[in-house]
Protein backbone atom coordinates (compact mmCIF):
# COMPACT_ATOMS: atom_id res chain seq x y z
CA UNK A 1 0.00 0.00 0.00
CA UNK A 2 2.80 2.43 0.86
CA UNK A 3 4.55 1.79 -2.47
CA UNK A 4 1.33 2.45 -4.38
CA UNK A 5 0.76 5.71 -2.50
CA UNK A 6 4.37 6.77 -3.05
CA UNK A 7 3.86 6.47 -6.81
CA UNK A 8 0.85 8.81 -6.88
CA UNK A 9 1.36 12.19 -8.54
CA UNK A 10 -1.21 14.99 -8.37
CA UNK A 11 -1.81 17.65 -10.99
CA UNK A 12 -3.99 20.59 -9.98
CA UNK A 13 -5.43 22.42 -13.00
CA UNK A 14 -7.14 25.81 -12.91
CA UNK A 15 -9.11 26.50 -16.08
CA UNK A 16 -9.48 30.18 -16.97
CA UNK A 17 -11.07 32.23 -19.68
CA UNK A 18 -13.80 34.74 -20.38
CA UNK A 19 -16.10 32.01 -21.71
CA UNK A 20 -16.40 28.26 -22.04
CA UNK A 21 -15.12 27.38 -18.55
CA UNK A 22 -18.45 26.04 -17.30
CA UNK A 23 -18.75 22.63 -18.95
CA UNK A 24 -15.05 22.40 -19.88
CA UNK A 25 -13.36 18.98 -19.87
CA UNK A 26 -9.85 18.34 -18.52
CA UNK A 27 -8.12 15.13 -19.66
CA UNK A 28 -4.71 13.72 -18.71
CA UNK A 29 -3.11 11.24 -21.13
CA UNK A 30 -0.04 9.04 -21.55
CA UNK A 31 2.49 9.33 -24.38
CA UNK A 32 0.52 6.79 -26.44
CA UNK A 33 -2.78 8.67 -25.95
CA UNK A 34 -4.32 6.49 -23.23
CA UNK A 35 -6.57 8.49 -20.89
CA UNK A 36 -5.49 8.37 -17.24
CA UNK A 37 -7.99 10.83 -15.84
CA UNK A 38 -10.85 13.11 -16.84
CA UNK A 39 -12.77 15.80 -15.00
CA UNK A 40 -15.69 17.96 -16.13
CA UNK A 41 -16.13 21.48 -14.77
CA UNK A 42 -19.51 22.68 -13.65
CA UNK A 43 -22.60 20.95 -12.46
CA UNK A 44 -25.47 22.72 -14.17
CA UNK A 45 -24.71 24.27 -17.54
CA UNK A 46 -28.35 25.32 -18.08
CA UNK A 47 -28.43 27.67 -15.08
CA UNK A 48 -24.78 28.68 -15.04
CA UNK A 49 -24.17 27.32 -11.55
CA UNK A 50 -20.74 25.87 -10.95
CA UNK A 51 -18.09 25.29 -8.36
CA UNK A 52 -14.48 26.39 -8.62
CA UNK A 53 -12.81 26.11 -12.02
CA UNK A 54 -10.06 23.96 -10.50
CA UNK A 55 -9.71 20.19 -10.70
CA UNK A 56 -7.17 17.76 -9.25
CA UNK A 57 -6.06 14.64 -11.08
CA UNK A 58 -4.20 11.91 -9.16
CA UNK A 59 -2.38 9.28 -11.22
CA UNK A 60 -0.06 6.34 -10.56
CA UNK A 61 1.26 6.06 -14.12
CA UNK A 62 3.47 8.49 -16.04
CA UNK A 63 1.43 11.14 -17.85
CA UNK A 64 2.74 13.40 -20.59
CA UNK A 65 -0.11 15.57 -21.85
CA UNK A 66 -2.94 17.64 -20.45
CA UNK A 67 -5.87 18.46 -22.73
CA UNK A 68 -8.51 21.08 -21.98
CA UNK A 69 -11.66 21.39 -24.07
CA UNK A 70 -13.66 24.49 -23.24
CA UNK A 71 -17.43 24.11 -23.60
CA UNK A 72 -17.45 26.28 -26.74
CA UNK A 73 -15.22 23.72 -28.50
CA UNK A 74 -11.79 25.34 -28.13
CA UNK A 75 -9.10 22.73 -27.37
CA UNK A 76 -5.59 23.36 -26.04
CA UNK A 77 -2.83 20.96 -24.97
CA UNK A 78 0.04 21.28 -22.51
CA UNK A 79 2.99 18.94 -22.01
CA UNK A 80 3.29 17.65 -18.45
CA UNK A 81 5.74 15.37 -16.70
CA UNK A 82 4.05 13.19 -14.11
CA UNK A 83 6.28 10.24 -13.38
CA UNK A 84 8.44 8.74 -10.67
CA UNK A 85 11.01 11.56 -10.84
CA UNK A 86 8.46 14.37 -10.91
CA UNK A 87 7.35 16.36 -7.85
CA UNK A 88 4.40 14.81 -6.01
CA UNK A 89 2.18 17.79 -6.75
CA UNK A 90 2.18 20.21 -9.64
CA UNK A 91 -0.06 23.15 -10.48
CA UNK A 92 -0.97 24.31 -13.98
CA UNK A 93 -3.14 27.22 -15.10
CA UNK A 94 -4.91 26.47 -18.39
CA UNK A 95 -5.69 29.69 -20.20
CA UNK A 96 -7.51 29.93 -23.51
CA UNK A 97 -4.62 31.73 -25.20
CA UNK A 98 -1.98 29.32 -23.86
CA UNK A 99 -0.93 25.80 -24.73
CA UNK A 100 -0.90 24.30 -28.20
CA UNK A 101 -3.77 23.92 -30.63
CA UNK A 102 -4.43 20.31 -31.70
pLDDT digits (tens, 9 = 90+) for 12-70: 999 998 888 888 999 999 989 999 999 998 765 555 555 568 999 999 889 999 999 99
Above 70 in pLDDT, residue 72? yes
Above 60 in pLDDT, residue 82? yes
Residue 83 counted as domain residue? yes
Residues 73, 9: Cα–Cα separation, whole Å: 28
Q: What is the CATH number of the domain that holds 36?
A: 2.60.40.10
Name the band, by pLDDT with cuts 50, 70 and 90, for residue 85: confident
pLDDT value of position 19? 83
Instruction: State if pTM tops 0.75.
Output: yes
Residue 77 counted as domain residue? yes
Share of the chain residues as helix, strand and coil, in percent rounded to the nearest 5? 5, 50, 45
Residue 44 counted as domain residue? yes
Amino acid sequence: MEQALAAVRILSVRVQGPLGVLGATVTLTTADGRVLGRRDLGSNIATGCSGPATVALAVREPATQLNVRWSDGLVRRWPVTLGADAPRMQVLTAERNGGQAP
